[in-house]
């Protein structure tokens, strides 16, 4: 889009009471956002059917915006912008009800991102939840899908990391401006995501991560995706809001079963009861969205299983499963000395076959 027009898109999008619905009304009536900006206040109020209070707020805000400065701000912060009229605007998002007219992002958005799955869940994730989210994300990324999430603590962070671990594409959708990284401890992760995908937001620069922004963020997460996977979620979790949006948008909803005694399983289990597809591996998702699993994933698993191992390594590797096991139990079952078991466990970790977790416990990757 030409910058002379873009500055007006940025300006209208900055006005808090002009959501997508009013934005598109202006575009339809005036024929262009440029013309809408130049129109008289009375005409705009009539087109949008504004109450006097809302009209006052809108025009006070509009009078304080200088379009040229909005364009300068984008350049100064090196932010990329797409409008609904741009050819690279995400195909999946364009089909939802009132898609965001403007997207701000760091990184790249490519056509293949239409083949994407969102993975969401609680910020207070268990080790099991984070492990499942990371593994599922990794396998889906290997299958050529882009992983969408919200870069929040817990499940979101694990989902992004899973895709990045295999050089896959991942997109983080923010509930604030792209000039704010939230949570702040994910600053390094944000940089990695930008290099292998994008950080994206419908919110103007300088927008803070306030509570009311996150449902809107969740609508974009589901809208970008062919389907949404809920890994761990309590009964009133934001992840369930994302699942509800996915259903409204005609997208698939998947759920990972969890511990029946954990409150963090209630959300996913309720979704399954309501008809969401139960998922325990990436193939369940690929079959539902009709994307074939490339041979490279199967080959990767074969290579992993046949990595050159010593007899002692094979013995211990066979003892370890996907469920955490204590080192004392490994020593007892293997009949090897404690020193030898520690040595072998370290070798298996270096070969990326197992992982140590808290309490001197190990599990197979």
pLDDT at 264: 87
**CA distance to 34, 86, 113, 170, 345, per residue, from 109 (Å):** 26, 12, 7, 10, 41
Q: Tell me the pLDDT tens digit for each residue of 259-300.
A: 888 888 898 898 999 999 999 888 899 988 876 545 444 445
pLDDT at 53: 94
Burial of 36 (0-12, 13-18, 19+ CB in 10 A): buried
Q: Tell me the pLDDT tens digit for each residue of 209-249.
A: 999 999 999 999 999 999 999 999 888 888 999 999 999 99
Find out whether 99 and 121 touch, Cβ atoms under 8 Å.
Answer: no
Angle between helices 282-289 and 127-142 (to 10 degrees): 50
Q: Tell me the pLDDT tens digit for each residue of 91-120.
A: 999 999 999 999 999 999 999 999 999 999
pLDDT at 261: 84
List of domains in the chain? 3-76 (1.10.150), 111-295 (3.40.50.450), 307-364 (1.10.10.10)
Q: Which two tokens stand for residue 44?
A: 């705009």
pTM exceeding the 0.85 threshold for the entire prediction: no
First to last CA, the chain: 46
Q: Mean pLDDT for the chain?
A: 90
Is it the case that residue 47 has pLDDT exceeding 90? yes
**CA distance to 20, 80, 85, 162, 189, per residue, from 227 (Å):** 23, 26, 24, 18, 24
Q: Which two tokens stand for residue 2?
A: 């030409």
Higher pLDDT, 318 or 191: 191
Is it the case that residue 155 has pLDDT exceeding 90? yes
Q: What is the CA radius of gyration of the chain?
A: 24
Is it the case that residue 306 has pLDDT exceeding 70? no
Average pLDDT over residues 64-78: 95
How wide is the angle at C-alpha 82 spanned by C-alphas 196 and 184, nearest 5°?
Answer: 50
The answer for 359, left when phi > 0, alpha when psi is -120 to 50, beta otherwise, is left
Q: Which helix (H) or strand (E) holds 261?
A: none
Q: Which two tokens stand for residue 331?
A: 């020593």
Helices (H), the chain: 3-14, 20-30, 33-38, 41-48, 52-63, 67-76, 91-94, 127-142, 155-165, 187-195, 214-223, 238-248, 266-273, 282-289, 295-305, 311-319, 327-334, 338-350
From 72-76, 193-197, 329-333, the region with the lowest mean pLDDT: 329-333
**Among 133, 300, 347, which residue's Cα sits nearest to residue 233?**
133
Q: Tell me the pLDDT tens digit for each residue of 314-327.
A: 899 989 987 889 99
pLDDT at 294: 52
How many CA within 13 A on the CB side of residue 217?
Answer: 31
pLDDT at 353: 85
The number of residues making up the chain comes to 365
Q: Tell me the pLDDT tens digit for each residue of 22-43.
A: 999 999 999 999 999 999 999 9
d(CA 160, CA 177): 19
Burial of 58 (0-12, 13-18, 19+ CB in 10 A): buried
Confidence of residue 302 (pLDDT cuts 50, 70, 90): very low
d(CA 54, CA 45): 9
């Amino acid at each position: 889009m030409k910058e002379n027009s873009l500055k007006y898109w940025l300006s209208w999008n900055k006005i808090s009471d002009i959501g997508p619905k009013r934005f598109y009304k202006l575009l339809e009536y005036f024929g262009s956002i440029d013309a809408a900006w130049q129109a008289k206040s009375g005409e705009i109020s009539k087109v949008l059917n504004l109450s006097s209070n809302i009209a006052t707020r809108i025009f006070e805000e509009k009078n304080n915006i200088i379009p040229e400065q909005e364009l300068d701000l984008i350049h100064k912060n090196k932010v990329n912008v797409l409008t609904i009229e741009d050819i690279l605007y995400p195909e999946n998002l364009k089909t939802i009800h009132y898609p965001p007219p403007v997207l701000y992002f760091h990184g790249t958005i490519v056509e293949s991102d239409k083949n994407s799955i969102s993975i969401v869940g609680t910020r207070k994730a268990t080790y099991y939840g984070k492990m499942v989210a990371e593994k599922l994300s990794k396998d889906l990324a290997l299958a050529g899908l882009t992983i969408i999430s919200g870069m929040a603590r817990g499940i979101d962070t694990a989902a992004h990391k899973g895709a990045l671990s295999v050089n896959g594409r991942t997109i983080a959708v923010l509930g604030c401006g792209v000039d704010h990284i939230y949570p702040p401890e994910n600053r390094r992760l944000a940089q990695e995501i930008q290099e292998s995908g994008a950080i994206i937001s419908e919110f103007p620069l300088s927008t803070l991560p306030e509570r009311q922004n996150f449902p809107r963020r969740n609508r974009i997460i589901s809208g970008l995706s062919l389907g949404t996977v809920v890994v761990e979620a309590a009964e009133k979790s934001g992840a369930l809001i994302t699942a509800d949006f996915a259903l409204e948008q005609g997208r698939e909803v998947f759920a990972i079963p969890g511990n029946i005694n954990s409150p963090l399983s209630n959300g996913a289990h309720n979704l399954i009861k309501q008809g969401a597809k139960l998922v325990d591996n990436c193939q369940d998702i690929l079959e539902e969205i009709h994307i074939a699993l490339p041979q490279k994933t199967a080959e990767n698993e074969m290579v992993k299983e046949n990595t050159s191992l010593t007899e002692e390594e094979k013995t211990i590797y066979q003892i370890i499963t996907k469920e955490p096991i204590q080192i004392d139990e490994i020593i007892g079952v293997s009949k090897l000395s404690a020193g030898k078991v520690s040595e072998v466990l370290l070798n298996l970790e270096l070969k990326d076959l197992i992982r140590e977790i808290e309490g001197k416990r190990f599990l197979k990757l």
